[in-house]
């Protein structure tokens, strides 16, 4: 593997130097913008869908891996390594058919239900509230719970919150204690419904905004826990939904409003293969993912009309690439492989979120294990980390760091008669004064030299990491789990007060300056 990395690195450096006569000038301003990149931009999403919860996080005793109760600890440790800050549950579409009382108390007494959204399979409710919150405690992340508006009631939602967050003497708080958790869970992030325009109730925005006000009124702040209530927001570019919700819902009643957007290489009927694709589908998928920037700008502009101080967060709590399922798997389980293309899409999207951090303060990649653009794939006792996992490992340095302003003009990545920017970037300064720069090169053929001034930087030590591969559809498999993973990056040098970076083709680079 080391020889492969060395060969790959030498080849991409040669290509990069061919383009060295036209360096990209990257200007980084150290002027304080007082905008932090929220750690919760790096959140994740786990739904009762396919093999995400069951046979993912929550395993049968026959699987011979380390576990706490039935929570798989190799997954827990992988998420701790990337500082997973937030986990959204139980859905997704499943949230609006989920009744929380089914998933508390002794497991042998919990009712079996039908998951009518995802495959008509039996939901045995062995993984419920206490198991999810134990998972979050093990990871060290905040829980983000999506409440049931579609088939639930304000009373049901209010009771769940009392069960979770009340520290006094009440029937529901005492029930929590009887179920093994003396102190309140202090769940703060709370979704009032999910995709209420679709699977969450097929509502129109005026009706949903009225329902939100009704439900949110009964979502109480118990002592010690201030709720961050998140409204079910727009499907992609439904700007009218955002307009109506921002107009009808008082700002003090919501912490955030959501936005959902999935990248497709094809269309909803034929989304495209996760592995069997050429440059045409690669280019189309990457281009489609960059639409996220326009979406955020246009939804933010509507929000600014009603909330110029940007008190309400835009929460992109479902995003990622959605492809056709892997051949031979259950179509309702949404199991797909994860390629170098997906890593490029993830890194490009995180750059967009970071650069809109004054409004985007929460995001959740869909989904964590075995579903859609997952970080982790499992097979029995085996586990592999996907290329997307390594992006989150590289980018964890931006969590809660102060965003630094960037100015540069990207060269174009041309395909046929179309083109997109080849390079995107984020820079930030952490609490120790360490500067991190992340760069993405979407172009699979050309490397680019990038030059930035170190004038004014107290830089004594520079180091780097890179994620790259030879082909856009390279994947990690259970037979070859380490084909796409990070390596040390040495493709930079100081020239006076300039830092010159040789950015390889099809790559994601993280530089640390301290």
Query: Which positions are annotated as active-site residues?
Result: 195, 318
Q: For residue 213, what are its two tokens?
A: 């006000």
- C-alpha to C-alpha distance for 486 and 462, rounded to whole angstroms: 17
Sign of CA dihedral 232, 238, 241, 242: positive
Per the CB < 8 A criterion, the answer to whether 323 and 272 are in contact is yes
- C-alpha to C-alpha distance for 118 and 247, rounded to whole angstroms: 34
Q: Which residue has the tokens 């009518």?
A: 116
Q: For residue 371, what are its two tokens?
A: 């579903």
Q: For residue 396, what are its two tokens?
A: 């964890």
Burial of 328 (0-12, 13-18, 19+ CB in 10 A): exposed
Kindly report the backbone phi and psi dihedral angles of residue 80, in degrees, each rounded to the nearest multiple of 5, phi listed first. -65, -35
* 3-state secondary structure at position 332: helix
Sign of CA dihedral 295, 311, 187, 172: negative
- How many whole angstroms from its chain centre is CA 423? 21
- C-alpha to C-alpha distance for 263 and 258, rounded to whole angstroms: 17
Give, to the nearest 10 degrees, the angle between helix 291-306 and helix 239-248: 20
* 3-state secondary structure at position 254: coil
* Phi-psi map region of 131: left, alpha, beta (phi>0 left; psi -120 to 50 alpha): alpha
Q: Where are the beta strands (DSSP E) in 129-255?
A: 142-147, 189-192, 228-235
DSSP assigned state of 268: S
Q: How far is CA 240 from CA 236, 313, 411, 425, 468, in A?
A: 11, 18, 35, 31, 40
Q: Which residues contact 404 (CB under 8 A, 6 or more apart)?
A: 28, 29, 30, 33, 427, 428, 429, 435
Cis peptide before 90 (omega within 30 of 0): yes
- C-alpha to C-alpha distance for 92 and 271, rounded to whole angstroms: 20
């Amino acid at each position: 593997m080391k020889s492969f990395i060395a060969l790959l690195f030498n080849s991409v450096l040669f290509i990069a130097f061919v383009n060295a006569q036209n360096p990209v000038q990257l200007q980084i301003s150290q002027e304080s913008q007082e905008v932090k990149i929220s750690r919760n931009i790096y959140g994740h999403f786990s739904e009762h869908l396919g093999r995400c919860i069951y046979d993912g996080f929550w395993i049968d005793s026959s699987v011979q891996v380390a576990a706490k109760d039935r929570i798989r600890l190799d997954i827990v440790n992988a998420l701790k390594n990337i500082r997973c800050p937030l986990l959204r549950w139980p859905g997704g579409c499943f949230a609006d058919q989920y009744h929380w009382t089914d998933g508390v108390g002794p497991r042998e007494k919990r009712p079996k239900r039908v998951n009518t959204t995802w495959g008509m399979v039996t939901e045995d409710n062995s993984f419920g509230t206490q198991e999810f919150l134990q998972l979050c405690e093990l990871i060290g992340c905040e829980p983000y719970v999506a409440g049931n508006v579609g088939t639930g009631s304000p009373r049901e939602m209010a009771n769940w919150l009392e069960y979770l967050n009340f520290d006094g003497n009440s029937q529901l708080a005492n029930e929590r204690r009887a179920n093994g958790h003396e102190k309140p869970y202090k769940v703060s992030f709370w979704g009032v419904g999910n995709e209420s325009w679709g699977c969450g109730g097929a509502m129109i925005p005026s009706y949903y905004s009225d329902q939100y006000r009704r439900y949110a009124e009964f979502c109480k702040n118990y002592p010690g826990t201030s709720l961050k209530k998140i409204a079910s927001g727009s499907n992609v570019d439904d700007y009218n939904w955002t307009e109506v919700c921002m107009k009808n819902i008082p700002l003090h009643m919501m912490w955030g409003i959501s936005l959902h957007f999935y990248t497709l290489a094809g269309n909803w009927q034929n989304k495209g293969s996760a592995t069997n694709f050429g440059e045409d589908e690669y280019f189309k998928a990457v281009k489609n993912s960059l639409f996220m920037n326009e979406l955020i700008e246009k939804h933010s502009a509507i929000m600014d009309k009603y909330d110029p101080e940007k008190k309400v967060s835009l929460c992109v709590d479902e995003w990622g690439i959605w492809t056709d399922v892997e051949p031979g798997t259950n179509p309702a389980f949404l199991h797909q492989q994860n390629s170098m293309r997906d890593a490029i899409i993830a890194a490009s999207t995180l750059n967009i979120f970071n650069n809109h951090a004054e409004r985007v303060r929460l995001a959740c990649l869909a989904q964590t294990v075995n579903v859609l653009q997952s970080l982790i794939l499992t097979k029995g006792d085996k586990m592999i980390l996907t290329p997307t996992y390594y992006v989150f490992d590289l980018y964890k340095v931006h969590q809660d760091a102060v965003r630094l302003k960037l100015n540069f003009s990207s060269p174009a990545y041309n395909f046929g008669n179309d083109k997109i920017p080849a390079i995107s970037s984020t820079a930030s300064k952490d609490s120790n004064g360490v500067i991190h720069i992340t760069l993405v090169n979407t172009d699979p053929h050309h490397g680019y030299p990038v030059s930035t001034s170190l004038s004014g930087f107290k830089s004594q030590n520079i180091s780097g990491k890179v994620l790259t591969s030879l082909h856009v559809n390279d994947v990690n498999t259970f037979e070859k789990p380490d084909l796409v993973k990070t390596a040390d990056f040495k493709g930079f040098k100081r020239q006076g007060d300039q830092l010159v970076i040789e950015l390889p083709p099809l790559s994601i680079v993280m530089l640390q300056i301290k």
